[in-house]
Amino acid sequence: MSEHERSLGGRGCAGDAAAYALGALEPAEAEAFRRHLESCVVCRDELAAFERVVDVLPSSAPQYRAPSALRRRVIGEVRADARRRARTGAPDARRSAWAGAAGVRRLPRLQLGLAGTGALAALIVALVLVLGGGGHGASSSRVVAAQVSGPGSAEVRLSGARAELIVHGLPAAPPGEVYEVWLQTGSAPPRPANTLFDVGARGGASVGIVDRVSGATRLMVTAERAGGSAVPTHAPVIVARLD
């Protein structure tokens, strides 16, 4: 008796549920197993149990941040498609929008008019100068500790022109608001990094910064109104020096 037969305990059917759940049946075998499932409640139950196990296997893989370019491509495509859909009013416009591989595209800016930023920018710069600190070294990959004005902690992981903000224990954004990330170069007004986020139940978040951070000397986070703002309207809750 083979290992497989022993594992089945003498059951009559082929017992392919494990191989099917793992995606290890050949296409024709998988199709035959799906037909078998229609009449075999034992295999159906077994498959449901195995699928729940298989569903957690991905978490055993080393975890990486999705590349920023991937984020830009996907979100850019979806935003563009949503705009097309809004213009045409076609309910199924989404279904025809994905022919071919998409190139890397820049995200549309959120109302980037910077008029009127002067006073706020000066305030932000002043706060940054008071709060800033924590960078070490100029290597292409490094971690920068950030200053947090309230509870919690934060750090920025830099790899080339990409950055990821990691926060722990940060309070949720106030009702009706969201956290928005800003980049600043020297004393220029902060610019939106096209990145909005909120924290989880325990105040944690891993935020891939959509825009490239090359050239930026500071990264800041403020709480802003729904959908984000073109200019910061609150004092930063997080400041990290990138230089």
Partner 1 sequence: MFLTARRPRPSELHRVADEELMQLVHEGQAQAFEVLFERHADAAFSLAYRMCGRRAMAEDVVQEAFLSLWRSGARYDPARGSVRAWLLRSVHNRTIDAFRRTTVKAGRDVHDETAAERLHAAELTDMEVERREDVRQVRSALDQLPADQRKVVELAYFGGFSHSQIAELLELPAGTVKGRMRLALSKLRITLGEAAETPA
Q: Binding to partner 1 (CB under 8 A): which residues in 33-52?
A: 49-52
- Residue 31 or 198: the one with the smaller Cβ distance to partner 1 is 198
Position among 123, 166, 188, 235 found at the interface with partner 1 (CB under 8 A): 166
Binding of partner 1 by 4 (CB under 8 A):
yes
Cα-Cα-Cα-Cα dihedral sign, residues 220, 225, 230, 234: negative
Query: Least CB distance from residue 125 to partner 1, whole Å?
Result: 26
The answer to whether 41 touches 72, Cβ cutoff 8 Å, is no
Position among 13, 123, 143, 161 found at the interface with partner 1 (CB under 8 A): 143
Q: Binding to partner 1 (CB under 8 A): which residues in 178-237?
A: 178, 197-198, 200-202, 204-208, 225-227
The answer to whether 135 touches 147, Cβ cutoff 8 Å, is no
Query: Least CB distance from residue 206 to partner 1, whole Å?
Result: 3
Q: Binding to partner 1 (CB under 8 A): which residues in 70-129?
A: 70-71, 73-75, 77-79, 81-82, 85, 91, 94-95, 97-98, 101-102
Position among 10, 35, 41, 61 found at the interface with partner 1 (CB under 8 A): 61
User: Exposed e or buried b for every residue in 12-36, given b needs 16+ CB within 10 A?
Assistant: eeebbbbbbbeeebeeeeeeebeeb
Q: What is the C-alpha R_g of the chain?
A: 25
Position among 31, 34, 42, 69 found at the interface with partner 1 (CB under 8 A): 69
The answer to whether 123 touches 235, Cβ cutoff 8 Å, is yes
235 burial level (CB within 10 Å; 0-12, 13-18, 19+): middle
